[in-house]
Structure 1
Amino acid sequence: MKKRAIILSFLLSVLLLFVACGSNDGAQDTTANPENQEYEKLTFDNYGREVNVTAKPQKVLTLGPNCSELFVALGLTDYIIGNSLDNHSRGALPEYEEDYAKIPELNYSSATRDAVLTSGADFIYGIDWEFGGSGLELEELTEFGITTYMNSATTLDEIYEEISHIGKIFQIEDRAQAFIEEQKSRIATVQDQVSEQEPVKVLVYDSGGDGVFTCSGTNFETLLVELAGGKNVFDDITEKQWITVSYEEVLARDPDVIVIHDYDTPSLEEKIKEIKNDPTLSKLDSVKNERFISISLESVLPGNRMAYTVEKLSKGFYPELFN
């Protein structure tokens, strides 16, 4: 009897141990890593393309400094495994420098097909000019299991929608909405300050050569210029976002201010020298009076800098108002 009691006690102990282990396993499953929890399929209209996201992306490529810095601003730096187009950047805003420096560089200039396809990425958020012409074909990216969301906004509503979609994809909807509201508030403040001012006539100077390479009326930069109290002197041209116009046409439209893009080459100093030495542009009062405003190229692309750029441009347009 004693032997049987010992055996029964042993079996009971083993049974209780299994029950306890099963209970602990179940507890672990219910508190598992949030990344492994069920993810509701999301479908977005991305400028005429249907984008489906069935799981939270883990390895992201941000193609374009504006796209990279937006992810940093939204607290998504750790998801990025590579970026591109830092040749169009003058560095992150001070508040984002530390996190931006953590991002591995996929390509200094445009992303290449081989670099993207061998990166291990499962998601791309990239400016539209990185696709097609550079060899990144959307269909092929899909075949390689890479979901692509293009950055192609030309209005504030469109970039706010992009930010909202990113919030849903990465389950940070409240953070994304708070960022949008902050941008709206800062821009509204500038508009109140310049509302009674006569719009300043603005030439956007990206580069020279056979003419002035500038932005048209459908370009996102034109919107930022208008929000800051300016008027793009070539806003009546709408066929393409980027255009080349003659020096004579610039002279005829007589801009009050010249906004100059600052990126790697040619340098800002070289561009100003080109403008001053040009026999036609040098006749402009804005050139004689050196009414130049420099701005980094990434600042006029749709991303996280809308309010920053509107604030900076307005101070350049109306120095007497803000000083």
Structure 2
Amino acid sequence: MLLTTSRRALAATAALSLSLGLAGCGAEVTPAASSEGAQSAHYPVTVENCGRQVTYQQKPARVVTNDIGITELMLALGLADRMAGYVMPDEKGDLSAVPWGKEYERAPWLSKKEITKELVLDAKADLVFAGWNYGWNETTGLTPEGLGKLGVGSYTLTESCRNGKEKARGVMPPLDALHADLTNLGRIFDVEAKAQQLIADFKAEVAKAEAAAPAKRPSVFLYDSGQDKPFTSGRFAAPEQIITKAGGRNVFGDLDDSWTTVGWEAVVSRDPEVIVINDYGDTSAEAKRQFLKSYPPLAQVSAVKNDRVFVLSYVDLVESPRNPAAITRLAAYLKGIAG
């Protein structure tokens, strides 16, 4: 990549901060000094992120986030003023019921396309919050390691952590991943009280939904996309616990991966009683529903025969602060069909 003069200067300055700022084994590149002046006694802060100890010498001041769930983790913590901006397609949906919806007005929308090194440098970011299959890209070099060479810090979404089985993702139960990221971000940005309050509120909402869940747990297939082969959720993606906590049973909860591709034969053999559609992208939820109902191999699947299809949005189903509310809505649906 050819850098402009200003970008070369930025990279050189950041590289100097790298040489001064590394702290201990596994530490990441630390952000350049912010306008706040002297560091507070809170810093440096070290957190565990995807199995590595990562050190932040001070509170990041110009964060670029990728994708809606990641962005809303920052917004829910009241950190819009710490954001240089966010990257996501035009898929935010209805924000009227989202407690942090107004926070979107305080953070710039940088791009509706993919996040790139050029965008990060142009935004003068001191930290990028993204993940594997949520922006990190080994082909383009947009990875924590690649950003580190440019003097830009990073944080990786815990749901997306690779688990050592080739490129399979997931290292802990999905809600634990949500709580881990809120806890880490609380420490990194010195908003621990806010983070712990969110976690407590989310746990209370999930517990309430669990208490109202049906006694008989219907089997559920999460349909993301794909016609030749379906893309679905293993046990490490958010739908696993959204389904489980709502009173269902993920038919692919035995797969040690997060989002993954399976075969239609496996769907038929597991005969789900309910299908949850992930609503996003160029194909509408209704178009996905019509495909499932008209696809001959699925004709005898219980969910298709009984037209038991429930729709959740993309941001409900990736790691995000909307996960607890999604559990509440799905629990009400599952209880309703249980009678």
State the shift of 1:91 in Å: 4.8
- Does residue 199 in structure 1 map to residue 205 in structure 2? no
Matched with 2:83 is 80
1:45 is the counterpart of 2:48: yes
Alignment of 1:151-230 (within 5 A): 151-153=157-159, 154-155=172-173, 156-194=175-213, 197-230=215-248
Deviation by residue 1:36-68 (Cα, 9 ceiling, x = unmatched):
343321111211233211111111111121111
Q: How does the TM-score come out when normalised to structure 2?
A: 0.78
| Structure 2 residue matching 1:294: 3-state secondary structure | strand
**Structure 2 unaligned residues grouped into runs of 5+:** 1-33, 160-171
Tell me, in whole angstroms, the C-alpha distance in 1 between the residues paired with 2:147 and 2:94: 29
Whole-Å separation in 1 of the counterparts to 2:311 and 2:73: 21
Mapped partners of 1:314, 1:34: distance in 2: 47
- Asked if 1:54 is matched to 2:57, the reply is yes
Aligned to 1:22: none
2:221/2:276 contact within 8 Å kept:
yes
Instruction: Name 1:112's counterpart in structure 2.
Output: 116
Letter of the structure 2 residue corresponding to residue 308 of structure 1: A
Match of 1:145 in 2: 151
> 1:279: how far off?
0.8
Determine if contact 2:144/2:155 at 8 Å carries over to the other structure. no
Mapped partners of 1:41, 1:299: distance in 2: 33
Distance 1:161 1:184, change over 3 A: same
CA distance change for structure 1 residues 83 and 210 in 2, over 3 Å: closer, same or farther?
A: same
2-structure distance, mates of 1:244, 1:303: 22
Identity %: 29
State how far apart, in whole Å, the 2-side matches of 1:57 and 1:122 are.
6
Local SS of the residue matching 1:58: coil
Provide the aligned C-alpha RMSD in A: 2.2
Match for residue 31 of structure 2?
Answer: none
Partner of 1:126: 130
1:284 aligns with 2:305: no
In the alignment of these two chains, the number of paired residues is 288
Structure 1 residue 259: deviation in Å?
0.3
TM-score between the two structures when normalised by the length of structure 1: 0.82
Distance 1:48 1:181 in 2: 25
Confirm or deny: 8 A CA contact 1:163 1:180 kept in the other structure: yes
Distance 1:267 1:133, change over 3 A: farther
Q: Distance in 2 between matches of 1:59 and 1:313?
A: 36
Report if aligned partners of 1:128, 1:152 keep a CA contact under 8 Å in 2: no
Q: Is contact 1:141–1:147 with CA below 8 Å preserved after alignment?
A: yes
Q: What CA deviation, in whole Å up to 9, does each residue of 1:101-159 have, x standing for no partner?
A: 44322231431222123220111222332113462122221122211011123422332
Residue 254 of structure 1: CA displacement?
1.1
Structure 1 or 2: larger helix share? Answer: 1
Q: Secondary structure at the match of 1:149?
A: strand
- Superposition deviation, residue 296 in structure 1: 1.0
Instruction: Assess, with a 3 A threshold, how the Cα gap between structure 1 residues 121 and 293 changes in structure 2: closer, same or farther.
Output: same
Alpha-carbon distance between aligned partners in 2 of 1:63 and 1:259, rounded to the nearest angstrom = 25
**Counterpart in 2 of 1:29?**
none
Show structure 1 runs of 4+ deviating over 4 A. Answer: none
Give the Cα separation in 1 of the matches to 2:290 and 2:117: 37
Residue identity in the other structure for 2:153: T
